[in-house]
Amino acid sequence: MNALSRMIEAVKPGGLILDLQVIRPNPKVELNGRVVAEIDAEPLFRWADAATAAIDARIEAGALVEEAVDDHEVCKHYTDGAELVQDVAGSKRRFPEDVVPTVAAIGEHVVTRELCRLRRLRVRGHADDAATAAAHWRAQACSTSM
């Protein structure tokens, strides 16, 4: 059983799951309100795309119901460029190599801005499956007793 299956099974029938996704385009680095660099997030997007596809498959199968979607910007603040470079180095994101010295040399407050999607999902799966199976069993029992 994979992590998504365990998560769905752990939520009571009718319960909610919040799915936070990173979405394209690449995050931007801003200094004093203007874009000075872009972070290559393609490795993260590939990983996120696979996770999104797994959840979408559960929606298609009827185990989850998508109730709401909100796309929004997320800003993260750094004291300077070196702090940002260090943070990116520990993630699935990457700076183009030629940009690292320029960003690392920024000695003032910088901001990253990226898009995220929040989806509210309601669990249907295990409770609805049990109710459907019970109704099917009752219908079969009634039809065979006649």
| Predicted confidence (pLDDT) per residue in 92-106, tens digit | 999 999 999 999 999
- Work out the average pLDDT over 80-93: 97
Tokens of 136: 């099917």
121 compared with 134, residue with greater pLDDT: 121
Amino acid code (one letter) for 108: E
Q: How far apart are CA 22 and CA 45, in angstroms?
A: 7
pLDDT at 140 exceeding the cut of 80? no
Which pTM does this prediction carry? 0.76
Under the banding of pLDDT at 50, 70 and 90, the label for residue 1 is low
